[in-house]
């Protein structure tokens, strides 16, 4: 068997997220698996680097799957041909940026050393008509300096249970955030997170909490108390899905 690594981007507006679901065909994983399974006449499963929520986008999602040796001969082991094959059947809001042969031990999720997410905020009472599917419009002015101070408390390794959207999470909720950058470009404010991994809804909950800080609904120092509480109810509201993009996944 040959291990194939692909990089995928998608506009997630009309999808129920990355992970395949029995109740719907509208998932990114499901679309890719369906094309591969039809092409090679057997069930092929794909592992992704992370499970983006419904409505969330990706610029650099990484996934891997396995093909038999004889199956790779159908495209002469040419990864550009495989990329073209997939893009020929995918809908216009999903694209495979590239494919490559990976080592047999490569796993897109387990081998990831860092992930970067970007959350886009449109901070203006006037809507952004053209980017409305990709930003969260916050009409009231945001105090970016207060948001930066709050973000500082989140850096490093912490138990992020209070920022986890799964109340029945049985695995460890400890994660490490390497960097949070807040970039203001006119009315757009981008929150850029890099860490060793993120819990379900974690980036959206942190973003919602930072926005509440920027609106002066809470003070930056509350972040410490929220982390220590491990109580989801103490953190802010979950930011809307459409502002979030899985930006990049890095490997050794």
Please report the pLDDT score of residue 167 as a whole number: 86
pLDDT value at 74 more than 90: no
| Range in 25-29, 76-80, 82-86, 132-136 the model is least confident about | 76-80
pTM to 2 decimal places: 0.96
Range scoring the smallest mean pLDDT among 72-86, 187-201, 225-239: 72-86
What is the mean predicted confidence (pLDDT) over 14-23?
96
53 is catalytic: yes
**CB atoms near residue 43 (< 10 Å):** 8
Cβ distance 189 to 211 under 8 Å?
no
**Whether residue 210 has pLDDT greater than 90:** yes
Place of tokens 């499901």: 30
pLDDT, mean of residues 119-135: 97
pLDDT value of position 60: 97
3-class secondary structure for 151-190? HHCCCEEEECHHHCCCCCCCCCCEEEEEEEEEEEECCEEE
Q: What is the pLDDT of residue 95?
A: 98
Catalytic residue among 53, 93, 104, 231: 53
- Percent of the chain exceeding pLDDT 70 equals 100
Task: Give me the pLDDT at residue 73, please.
Answer: 84
Go through the domains of the chain in sequence order and give each one's CATH number. 2-102 (3.30.70.580), 113-251 (3.30.70.660)
pLDDT at 170: 86
Look at residue 27 in the predicted model and tell me its pLDDT: 98
Model confidence band, residue 76 (pLDDT cutoffs 50, 70, 90): confident
Residue with tokens 């509480």: 229
Q: What is the pLDDT of residue 169?
A: 85
CA 177 to chain centre: 15
Q: What average pLDDT does this structure show over 159-187?
A: 96
pLDDT above 90 as % of the chain: 94
């Amino acid at each position: 068997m040959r291990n194939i690594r692909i990089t995928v981007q998608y506009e997630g507006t009309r999808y129920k997220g990355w992970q395949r679901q029995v109740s719907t065909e509208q998932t990114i994983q499901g679309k890719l698996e369906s094309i591969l399974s039809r092409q090679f006449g057997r069930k092929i499963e794909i592992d992704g680097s992370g499970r983006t929520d419904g409505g969330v986008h990706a610029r650099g999602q990484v996934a891997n799957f396995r093909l038999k040796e004889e199956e790779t001969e159908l495209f002469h082991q040419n990864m550009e041909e495989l990329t073209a094959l997939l893009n020929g059947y995918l809908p216009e809001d999903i694209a495979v940026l590239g494919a490559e042969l990976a080592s047999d031990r490569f796993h897109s999720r387990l081998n990831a050393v860092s992930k970067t997410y970007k959350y886009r905020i449109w901070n203006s009472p006037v809507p952004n008509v053209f980017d409305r599917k990709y930003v969260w419009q916050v009409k009231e002015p945001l105090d970016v300096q207060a948001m930066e101070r709050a973000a500082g408390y989140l850096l490093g390794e912490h138990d992020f249970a209070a920022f986890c959207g799964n109340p029945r999470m049985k695995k460890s909720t400890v994660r490490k955030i390497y960097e949070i950058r807040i970039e203001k470009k006119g009315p757009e404010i981008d929150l850029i997170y890099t860490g060793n991994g993120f819990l379900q809804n974690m980036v959206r909950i942190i973003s919602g909490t930072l926005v509440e800080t920027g609106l002066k609904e809470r003070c930056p120092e509350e972040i410490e108390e929220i982390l220590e509480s491990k109580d989801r109810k103490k953190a802010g509201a979950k930011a809307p899905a459409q502002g979030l993009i899985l930006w990049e996944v890095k490997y050794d």
